[in-house]
Amino acid sequence: MKKQLAYVVATGLAAVVWSAGAAANLVSNGSFETPVISNGSPGVQTVTANGTTITDWTVGASNSVDIVRQSSSGPGAWANAGNQAIDMSGSGSFGPADLFQTITTTVGQTTFYRSGPHQTILVPVIPVVTQTGRTMR
């Protein structure tokens, strides 16, 4: 009986841990997979200021961004997940751009991944902490 009870408790704990880990992602299209950029050359699509081409994202008013597709035959995006990434300097931009979407968060629990352009050195995950009533880009 003790073995059966231990098995039931262990199974129940595993189910609780699994369901907690399966929580929905707060960021929609977080790996920038839509729209899909073709594998052909150049494998880049520029989205201009104020553009909404990237599903669930808006490019700010300052500059453009580039959606860059992973390439197996040369330079391309080193995406954390999927096959595409964002180049925040855009094509022909004169400075960095901003890219945003509105999400509802729990303070201290949202993180994101970033890396430099065409580099293999990964930048650590950075926590984003916001306050109620503030906008963060």
The tokens describing 17, both together, are 């841990």
Cα–Cα distance between 73 and 58 in angstroms, integer?
Answer: 30
Q: Which domain holds residue 53?
A: 2-128
- Between 113 and 106, the more confident residue is 106
Cα–Cα distance between 59 and 54 in angstroms, integer?
Answer: 8
Residue 133 lies in a domain: no
pLDDT at 125 over 70: no
The reported pLDDT for the residue numbered 43 is 82
The reported pLDDT for the residue numbered 52 is 94
The reported pLDDT for the residue numbered 104 is 72
Residue 135 lies in a domain: no
pLDDT at 100 over 60: yes
Residue 52 lies in a domain: yes
> What confidence tens digit (pLDDT) does each residue in 16-74 have?
334 444 456 778 998 899 999 887 666 889 999 999 999 999 998 888 999 988 765 55
Residue 77 lies in a domain: yes
Q: Is the dihedral of CA 48, 53, 59, 65 positive or negative?
A: negative
Q: How many domains does the chain have?
A: 1
Query: What is the average per-residue pLDDT within 76-81?
Result: 69
